[in-house]
Structures are given as structure tokens and as C-alpha cells.
């Protein structure tokens, strides 16, 4: 463990029952400020891994240190607090509240995190290029715009670590590119980024690619 490490997993394993060993002894190190993509066939354990790194789920064995904290030793409440303070999550499904506007969706996240601050929420939406869509409800936004609201929401606690599971999975190429440009901007601003993806175009970006196959890392290399 080094002070430049953001994530260190040691012999990380996850089984759902005696027969379903989804992750097998993963030893992964992700450095602060790095952009790492995780690719692998469907069912290889990518979402399981991301959920564990997100502190949404626990491994069956092994340890995870994030930003110097051994999260696997935290209680359920401490883990939730750690997640709120350190991690921003982006999902394939945007998980926006349908009857709240873009601005209210972001402010709801602020409410759960700490204090509601409308100006700050507006700024987050401006950062993702949605300053002109504050009062729109999700049904009146395109898929790409909804995903940008969800990224604004993920940024509200200024997380050092951003984790995304197939963030462009539901988007066409043009909107996918807008989302990727946002990730590039966040990476440039110093956020550590981990993206699980099927998209070969994302796979070529970032600093490093980790390939997962049947719950093990089979290939790791620097991106071109
Ligand atoms: N809650 C669960 N209970 C039992 N098995 C699960 C559960 N979640 C995922 N799995 C199994 O774990 C394997 C990996 O799933 P997942 O992590 O979603 O893969 P990926 O995201 O790479 O497609 C699959 O075989 C899946 O059926
Ligand atoms: Mg998945």
C-alpha cells in the first residue's frame, strides 16, 4: 500500500453460494488519478466487482483498501458514509426520480449527502452542459441528457473516485461520445475513474485496461 494508491484489493473473492464463485482472488491496484477500464464478456463478474468497489456489496473473502481506508472492515453504516464522502456512481440505467426536475434530482443527492445548495447543484448541471435543462423532468430529456444529470448527481460530493458501470450502454454513438468527453474532463481534473464497459471505443481510452474472464484478471495493459 502506497499513498499514491486509490484502490488496492488483496485476494478479493466473491461467491453467491457454494457453486457460484464469481470473483476469484483478485489483486488489483489502481493509482490515484488513474483512469482504468474493466472489460470482459457478459457474466465475467464486472458488475459484481464494481458493486464491491463501490461499497454497495461486500466480498466473501479478501480485503479492499480505498484511499487509505480498509473498507472491508467498516460496519454497514460506516461503509455507506464512506461511499457518500468518497465515491461517485454512474449506472447504465440513470436511476433518476421521474417526477423531479433535473435540478431537483441533483439537489436530492445533496440532501442525502449533507446540505441542499441550489447554486452548487446548478453548477454541477452546467458542468455537464445542462444549464438550459434545469427544470426538465427525465421524461422530457434525451437518454444522453439523463445520463448527464446522473453524472452531475454523482459529482455532488466531489468524490475523488468515480465508478461507472456501462455508462454508455443505453446511448447512441453521439451521446456516448458526449459522456466520454465528460469523463475525460473529470479525469483531467484529477478524479480517479473506473469504468466497466463493453464498448471497445472506451476500452482504447484511459490509462489502463483490465480484462476479466470468468472472475479472474487475464490481461492488464496500458492503453495505446
Ligand atoms: N445476486 C446474485 N446472486 C447469484 N448470482 C449472481 C448475483 N449477481 C450476479 N450473479 C452471477 O454472477 C455472475 C457475474 O455476474 P455480473 O457481475 O453481473 O457479470 P457482468 O457484469 O460481467 O455481466 C453471473 O453468472 C451472474 O449470474
Ligand atoms: Mg454487468
Q: What is the rounded distance in angstroms from the CA atom of residue 139 to the CA atom of residue 123?
A: 22
Question: Best of 12, 14, 41, 48 to mutate for ligand 1, by most ligand atoms within 8 A of CB?
Answer: 48
Report which bound ligand comes closest to the CA of 166: 2
Residue nearest to atom 20 of ligand 1 (CA): 43
Take atom 1 of ligand 1 and give the residue whose Cα is closest: 16
> Of 165, 219, 155, 137, which is closest to residue 49 (Cα–Cα)?
165
Residue 45 CA, closest ligand 1 atom number: 17
Q: Is 44 in the pocket of ligand 1 (CB under 6 A)?
A: yes
pLDDT of residue 26: 96
**Where in the chain are the domains?**
35-41+76-222
Half-sphere exposure of 96 (CA within 13 A, CB side): 29
User: Nearest ligand, CA of residue 211?
Assistant: 1
Pocket lining: 48 vs ligand 1, CB cutoff 6 Å: yes
| Domain 35-41+76-222 = CATH 2.60.410.10 | no
pLDDT reported for residue 52: 96
Q: Whose CA is nearest to atom 3 of ligand 1?
A: 16
pLDDT at 221: 76
Output the CA 22–ligand 1 centroid distance in Å: 7
Helix axes 102-113, 118-127, angle to 10 degrees: 120
* Residue 101 DSSP class: -
How far does the centroid of ligand 1 lie from the alpha carbon of residue 197, in Å?
15
Residue identifier of the C-alpha nearest atom 8 of ligand 1:
48
pLDDT given for residue 224 in this prediction: 60
Q: Where do we find the cell 438550459?
A: 132
Per-residue HEC secondary structure of 32-94 comes to CCCEEEEECCCCCCHHHHHHHHCCCCCCCEEEEEECCEEHHHCCHHHHHHHHHHHEEEECCCC
Asked whether the CA dihedral 191, 194, 197, 201 is positive or negative, the reply is: positive
**From atom 17 of ligand 1, which residue's Cα is the shortest distance away?**
45
CA-proximal residue: ligand 1, atom 2 (nearest): 16
pLDDT in tens, the chain (224 residues): 788 999 999 999 999 988 889 999 999 999 999 999 999 999 999 999 999 999 999 999 999 999 999 999 999 999 999 999 999 999 999 999 999 999 999 999 888 877 889 999 999 999 999 999 999 999 999 999 999 999 999 998 889 999 999 999 999 999 899 999 999 999 999 999 999 998 888 888 899 999 999 899 887 777 76
Amino acid at each position: 500500500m502506497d499513498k499514491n494508491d486509490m484502490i488496492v484489493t488483496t485476494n478479493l473473492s466473491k461467491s453467491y453460494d457454494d457453486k457460484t464463485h464469481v470473483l476469484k482472488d483478485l489483486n488489483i491496484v489502481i493509482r490515484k488519478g488513474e483512469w482504468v477500464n474493466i472489460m470482459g464478456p457478459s457474466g465475467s463478474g464486472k458488475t459484481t466487482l464494481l458493486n464491491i468497489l463501490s461499497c454497495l456489496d461486500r466480498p466473501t473473502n479478501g480485503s479492499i483498501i480505498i484511499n487509505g481506508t480498509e473498507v472491508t472492515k467498516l460496519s454497514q453504516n460506516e461503509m455507506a458514509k464512506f461511499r457518500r464522502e468518497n465515491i461517485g456512481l454512474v449506472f447504465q440505467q440513470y436511476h433518476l426520480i421521474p417526477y423531479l426536475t433535473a435540478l431537483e434530482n441533483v439537489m436530492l443527492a445533496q440532501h442525502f449527502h449533507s446540505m441542499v445548495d441550489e447554486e452548487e447543484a446548478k453548477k454541477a448541471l452546467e458542468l455537464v452542459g445542462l444549464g438550459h435543462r434545469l427544470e426538465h423532468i427525465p421524461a422530457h430529456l434525451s437518454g444522453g441528457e439523463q445520463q448527464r444529470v446522473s453524472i452531475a448527481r454523482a459529482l455532488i460530493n466531489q468524490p475523488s473516485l468515480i465508478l461507472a458501470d456501462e455508462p454508455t450502454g443505453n446511448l447512441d454513438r453521439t451521446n456516448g461520445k458526449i459522456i466520454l468527453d465528460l469523463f475525460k474532463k473529470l479525469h483531467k481534473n484529477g478524479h480517479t475513474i473506473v469504468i466497466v464497459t463493453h464498448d471497445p471505443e472506451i476500452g482504447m481510452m484511459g490509462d489502463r485496461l483490465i480484462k476479466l474472464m470468468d472472475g479472474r484478471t487475464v490481461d492488464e495493459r496500458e492503453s495505446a
